[in-house]
Structures are given as C-alpha cells and as structure tokens.
Structure 1
Amino acid sequence: MPKSLQCAQVRSLRWRLLRTVCIAALLGLALSGALSYQQAQHEAEELMDGHLAQSARLLLALVRDNESHLADLAARLATVRSDQANLYEPPLEFQIGRADGSLLLRSEHAPGIPLSAATGYSVIEHDGHPWRMLNMQAASGDYRVQVGQSITLRDRAALEVAGQSVLPIAAISPLLLLLIYYSVRSGLKPLDDLAADVASRSPENLGPLANRAAPSEAQPLVAALNRLLFRLRDTLESERRFTADAAHELRTPLAIVKIQAQVAQLSPDANDRQHALRQIVAGADRATRVLEQLLRLARLDPLARLPNPVEVDLAELARQGLADFLQSVDARDIRLQTAGSPLLVRGDAELLQIVLRNLLDNALRYTPADSRIHVFARRQGGELSLGVADDGPGVPPTELPRLVERFYRGREANAEGSGLGLAIVQRIAELHDARFEVENLAAGGFTARLRWCRSPTA
C-alpha cells in the first residue's frame, strides 16, 4: 500500500473523533465517579454521626425513666446490640453518668474516657484504632452520655455506600462508549456516501456531486469538489474541442500541400512546378497560422483569470502595436487615434497586443485595398475602449452575433483566414473583464473594440 494511503488511514477523521470523544467521556465519567464517591462517603459519615446523636438522646431518655433499674437496663441494652458482621450497623458503645462525671452505666467495650470531657464530636484512640465519639448532656443538666463507634467499621460502611453510588456509572460506561461509536459512525455516514460516490465515478462522469445529504460542515468541501469537477470538465472539453478543431482545420491545408507536392513532382513544366511550390508554401503558411491560433486558444481557455495583471496604458499600447504591425505588412492607409492622457487598465499587455493584431489583420483581410483603417484608444465618459474601425462594406446584420464563433468566416468564406481571430479576442476580453463589441457604423464601415464599461482605475 502506498505510504500516502497509510498516512490517510492513520489520520482517519472517524477514529480521531472517536478517540477524542471517548477520552473526553471517560474523563467526565471518572470525574463524576470521583465526585460521587466523595460526596456519598461524606453523606454516609454525616448519616452515622446523626445516628450517634439519636442514640445518645434515646439513652438519656431511658436513663431518666429507669434510674432505679439501671442494672436491668444494661442487660436489656446488651440484648439489642447489633451484629458486628452487619456492615451498615457498626456496634455502638456508650457510657452514662451524672453531671459531676460519676459513671452510672457502661457498655462492655466502651472506651474509658472521662464523662466530664467537652460535649460534641471527637476522635480518640482506643485499643490501637481510631474511634468517633459524641459527648452529650441532658437539657436538665443532670445526666451525661457518651456514645462511640469504631472509625474503621464506619469507613467500611461509608466505602460500601460510596461504591454502590459509583457502580451505576461504571456499569453504564461501556454502553455510553458504544452509543458514542454508533453516533459518530452515523454522523459521518454522509461523508462515507460522498467518498463512495467519488470513488465509484468513471473518468467520464464529471457531473456535480449531490450536496443535499451532506452536513453543513461538509458543504464547503462539496462545493469545492464541484468547482474542481467543473474546471476538469471544462479543461477536458477544451482539449477535445482543440483536438477536433485542429483535425478539422489542418485537414484542408495539409491535403492541399500533399496535392500540390504531387503536382510539382509529376509536372514536366517548370512554371507549373513553381506554381505548385508556391501553393505548397501558402498551404504551409495557412496550416502554421491555424496551428498558432489553436495553440493560443488552448492556452487561454483554461484560464479563470489573468495570472499577473499589471497597469497597461491603452494609448501607448495602441501606438506600439500599430508600429510593430506596420513593419510586417504592406503599407495601407492605417491611422491612429489616441487620447493625450494615459488610459490605464489592469491587464496583460501581450494579450492586448494580440487583440490589436487580430483586429488589424481582420480589417486588412476583409476590406478593399483602398479602405481606410483607424486604430483607436479613447475615453468616453467613464468608459475606455481599444479597437479598430474601417470604412469598408461592413458585415450583414444577421452575421454580427456569429463573428465570435470559432471557424466562422461569414460572407467571405473563401477569404484567407482561420476563423479563430475574433474568438481569441472574445476570450481575451473575458479575461480582462471587458466587453467585445462588433457593429456596423451608421456612416458606413465596421468597428470592433474592447470596451471597459467604467474606468478600471476609478
């Protein structure tokens, strides 16, 4: 198994969540158990102290009513002593006497401490073990009583009570952990379904993932995956379109090159051979031009935005672009109209130069030789525009919307060209947040321009 997959399993969200929740639950149960144990033990001690006080009052009442029969009272009290084996009834030892400290009655194992000790609870040492003692005086002040219990036996009873209070928490812990496991598993099931949906898809299935069943926390992930799928689909579609377009457009010039090469090879006449060779060169030029345009489109299609936009002066770009263009074509009546002040937009100067070259190339290719061509970069109100206009015959109105379609050449179907120039201009306009507009002029002629609806630097 690849190392990356092993890491993915180790870092499973389900097990990380289970581990965290279970540890938190166990810590909570342990803390709850410890507090419950401590509280139960404290309450058991309070209960047994209350039992000591109640026993002391009963003894005081019995002594007052049976002072003349104390010997019989001692015998009867001995018969009701609890069994030491009963954890919840630790033996009660007592001493009864008068207010002056003289002893009247004493149990067999009672600690021998003076009855004159201060009233209230105290802890003493008796036969090597701690004892809890209570000294109490009657309301009339004539009798005093002293009762006590072994703290060791009391602690056993308190421990049993506290343990019984913690036992339900310990018993419910496995059930709670099981419920946590199934809750986490159920809560993450939409993610499992989403992963299964992605894993079961074929490379051709790039449709959006269903996000209705996904929890709100997973919605951003589903949205990001859908955006990725859309981009992949667009990229693959662009590649398929590029392949189909290249095959379609290169078929004709390559066929012409092959035919003309065969003509040149078989023709005995030198002039015919030269003509065929010129046709071969022209066909190769056309194939090269189509290939360049296709490669340019293939580079522009996947872009969602410009990678590194900078400020570009449209006026300076128009001047430089026209100067470069005139160096590579025959002289024509091409004029430049620009504003005196800079016309700044954020964009890519190289792509905008391609726009200008394509528009100039179209103007030269589809207008008569005596036509005048204007290159302009201007500001009108808050809008900036860069484009080319001519005084040629224009374009039939029904064809205007189709000029940006790929490989559409309009009425000049036999003219040289690939039909990709304006499609490239349209794509560059989209990347620059500009509108590409084509229209026939009212006074005659045709114009094509990029228009920014408001000044990008405003």
Structure 2
Amino acid sequence: MPDRRGRPQSLRRRLLRTVGIAAMLALAASGALSYRQAQHEAEELMDGHLAQSARLLLALASDRQDHLADLARPLATLAAAEASGYEAPLEFQIGRGDGSLLLRSQDAPNASLLATPGYTVIEHDGHPWRLLTVASSAADYRVQVGQSIRLRDRAALELASQAVLPMALISPMLLLLIYLAVRRALKPLDDLAGDVAARSPANLEALPGHRAPLEAQPLISALNRLLIKLRETLDRERRFTADAAHELRTPLAAVRVQAQVAQLTVDTDDRRRALAQVLAGSDRATRVVEQLLRLARLDPLADVARAADVDLAEIARQVFAERPPDGEGRQIRLRAADRPLQVSGDAELLRIVLGNLLDNGMRHTPPGSTITVFARRDRHQVALGVADDGPGVAPDELPRLAERFYRGRAARSEGSGLGLAISQRIAELHGTCLEFENLPGGGFEARLRWPGWRRSPAG
C-alpha cells in the first residue's frame, strides 16, 4: 500500500507500529487499572490500620486505667516515631465516655471525643485528616485515631507506583520481543522474495510453498501460475523461432540457388524456369510464415474470445462457395444439413479449420478424386469436415497427423505441415475433437466433432 506521497510502505514497519501501539495502549490501560486498584487497596489497608490501632488503644485504656498516665510517654514516643514510606504517622486521643480527655499525642487534631463512632474527614492545620472514633462496650472510654490524608495519599501513591513499576520496566523488553516476533513471522516472505528474485528465464520452476504461512499460499499459487504461463510463453517463442528457422531455411536456400541460376544462365528458358522456382519458393516461404504467425497467435489463448452461435452448415456452404475449381480434375462436393447446426464458437476460426482440411485433402489426393465438404448431424453429435475417396493414410501415421511439420511418408506435394496443427489448436479452443479416420470403403475423413450436441430452440 503506498503512502500519501505514492511511496510503498513497509509491511514490517506497519506491523511493528500497529502492534507496538496496541501493546503500549494495553499496558497503559492495565497500568492505570493496576494503579487505581493498588491505591484503593492501600486506602483500605490504612483504614484497617486505623481500626486496629484504635481497638488496641481502647484495650490499653480499659485494662490499665490506673496506670494510664504512665502510658503517655511511650505512646507519645511511638506516635512521634518516623513512619515508613508505606505508612502515614498515626495521631490519637484517649478520653472518658463523657468526652473528657485523658491522653493525646502531640499533633493529634483537637476534635471532640463525643463525635459519632466511625470514620470521618476533618480539617486540621489547613489539611484534611481521616479520623476514626471508637467507644468501649461499657461506653466508659472513647478513643480517636487519625492520619493526615496528604500523608496517606503519599503512602498510597508509593504503593501504587511500586505495583505499576514492573509494567514500565517490561515495556522496552516487550517492544523488543514484538520486533523479533514480527521479524521472524515475516522471514518466510523475505525468503519468498529472495526466491522470486533468483528466478531467471532459465529457471522458471514453481516456488516451494511448504515453508510459507497459510496467508501467503494464495500469493504463491498466483506466482506459480504466472511462472507457468511465462514458461509456456517462452517455450512458444523458442519453438516459434526454431520452427521458423527450420522451415524457412530450405525454401530460402532454394530461392537463393534458383536466383543464382537465373543470374548466371544465358538461356532464356532456363532463366524462366529458375525465376518460376524463385516465385514458388517465395510463395512457400510466405505460406510458412503466415501459418507460423497464425499458430503463434492461437497458442497463448485459453478459449475462444468471440464465441457466438455459429451454424456449421452455413460455414460448410461458405467454404465450398469460395473454393476455386481444381486444375487437376478433382471434384469438390457439398453435403450440408438443411437445418441449422448451431454450436458456440468463432465462425472465422472454424472456416480456417475447414479450409485447412480441404486444402490438405486436395494436396494429398490423386487427380480426379472426389472431395466432399460436409456438415452433418448424427443423433446427439454434429460434425464439420472433409472426406475424400483417396488412398487414405497408413494407420500408424493417424496419431501424428496433427503434429507440427509432420507431412507423412506418402505426401505427394509440398506443404508447411502446420495446417492440421492449427486445426488441432482451434479444436482445443472450441472444446471439441479433431479426428482422422480411414473410411471402411476406402478414402479418408478429417472432421471436427461435437459430442453431446443438443439442437437449440432456434434450430
């Protein structure tokens, strides 16, 4: 994904930023909750300390009422002792049930001992104080203990800070762990990028996907499909180059030889024959180039781009009408169904197939033969093709007829050997079959066959 300036963003940086921010927010929220909880627990702890101290002082006052004056000095010393960082100094007052004061610490608030028992907040020396008033069961003694809320808050803050401190110390380590985890998690992508970068036209094998994470599998599958297509394209280009070099070498060499003969000969008839051979060689080279270019255009296709309803009978009639008379006495007949035979396909490509089959039949049948162009229906299938009454083809050659540049052992005329290969490719694009068969009564038939055909409502 590009940034606002159009530059690509690093996935690793985005993950680190996103996960790091999320982790820090989670730590901050957890720290805030821990701080509040620790502060609340510290407040309850100090209130419990107040209650415990008040009950202890009340017990001392009740048990040692005759020696209460002797307790003044040690209690005052205890109250004045320096408190720890987690404990606020405690001040107290001890009195009788009627509210008369018996004993108090030096900095204790001067509050009435007749206050309602329980916790209360008062002002003392300009600061709030937390007081607890308790009375004995016989109501003959009352005790009041208190702590400065400011000092209590300081102690609570100290406790809460100690609870949050580990989280603050863990944060850098957590960020480091997140960085290492993201780096390790993205390492398969780095390896994949290095593997793709190492690919070259000489190495287009599929990328291994067993080490990549599940999320990267669709990417690897798409890259492998792309590599397969690229390999097929390069193979087609190499094959086209090799085929062109192989097939053009002979006619061009012949053209050169005949041109040299025409250049060096002084006899008019010899020169005319040499020039005729030059023209024939040029025509053959032109046919080869046209067929190669047509095959090169068909090879990359996956299906028919301009598929539509096509009438096979009409195609047969068009190809028959366009064929000029044969100069060697061959008869061309038409046998097309009266009703439309509708299939889905490209009419121009199907005309090329039928034209190739007809040309092939005219080249490989003896003069005076009969060639039939047909479009017929036989139960649940339709066929478009050419049949002749010639000698046929050797059975072992039938599977090889659609191979590129294969002309057969008994070929009587020159050809590029690409017409049937082009017809085979067009048949594949239409999802149909190109079949060759020696007829039982003699002759040969080449056809496109659509099995499982059903008549359309229009037909």
Moved more, 33-42 or 95-104: 95-104
Question: Partners of 1:381 and 1:118 in 2: how far apart?
Answer: 111
Amino acid at match of 1:404: A
Q: 1:71 maps to which residue?
A: 69
Distance 1:337 1:112, change over 3 A: farther
8 Å CA contact retained: 2:109, 2:124: yes
Which one of 206, 209, 215 corresponds to residue 207 of structure 2? 209
Which one of 109, 112, 119 corresponds to residue 110 of structure 2? 112
Q: 1:159 maps to which residue?
A: 157
Question: Partners of 2:98 and 2:389 in 1: how far apart?
Answer: 137
Per-residue CA deviation, residues 89-132 of structure 1 (Å, 9 max, x unaligned), is 21111223344433333222122222233332222221111111
Q: 2:184 maps to which residue?
A: 186
Q: 1:147 maps to which residue?
A: 145
Which one of 72, 80, 91 corresponds to residue 89 of structure 2? 91
Question: Partners of 1:345 and 1:161 in 2: how far apart?
Answer: 87
Distance 1:94 1:341, change over 3 A: farther
Amino acid at match of 2:162: Q
SS in 2 for 1:54: helix
Which one of 47, 50, 56 corresponds to residue 49 of structure 1? 47
Q: 1:311 maps to which residue?
A: 309
User: Displacement, 1:307?
Assistant: 3.1
Which one of 238, 242, 248 corresponds to residue 236 of structure 2? 238
TM-score by length of 2: 0.91
8 Å CA contact retained: 1:82, 1:90: no
Which one of 117, 134, 140 corresponds to residue 136 of structure 1? 134
Question: Partners of 2:311 and 2:128 in 1: how far apart?
Answer: 99
Moved more, 227-236 or 327-336: 327-336
Which one of 265, 268, 273 corresponds to residue 266 of structure 2? 268
Question: Partners of 1:133 and 1:341 in 2: how far apart?
Answer: 111
Question: Partners of 2:378 and 2:407 in 1: how far apart?
Answer: 31
Question: Partners of 1:99 and 1:329 in 2: how far apart?
Answer: 142
Which one of 428, 431, 437 corresponds to residue 430 of structure 1? 428
Amino acid at match of 1:376: F
Q: 2:195 maps to which residue?
A: 197
Distance 1:138 1:376, change over 3 A: farther
Amino acid at match of 1:150: S
SS in 2 for 1:81: helix
Per-residue CA deviation, residues 188-223 of structure 1 (Å, 9 max, x unaligned), is 222212222222333321122222222222122122
Moved more, 117-126 or 233-242: 117-126
Q: 1:220 maps to which residue?
A: 218
SS in 2 for 1:67: coil
Question: Partners of 2:343 and 2:209 in 1: how far apart?
Answer: 40
SS in 1 for 2:67: helix
Distance 1:154 1:76, change over 3 A: same
The count of residues paired between Structure 1 and Structure 2 equals 453
TM-score by length of 1: 0.92
Structure 1 stretches of 5 or more lacking a match? none
Question: Partners of 1:31 and 1:456 in 2: how far apart?
Answer: 71
Where do 1:254-403 residues align within 5 Å?
254-324=252-322, 326-327=323-324, 332-403=330-401
User: Displacement, 1:287?
Assistant: 0.8
8 Å CA contact retained: 2:331, 2:369: yes
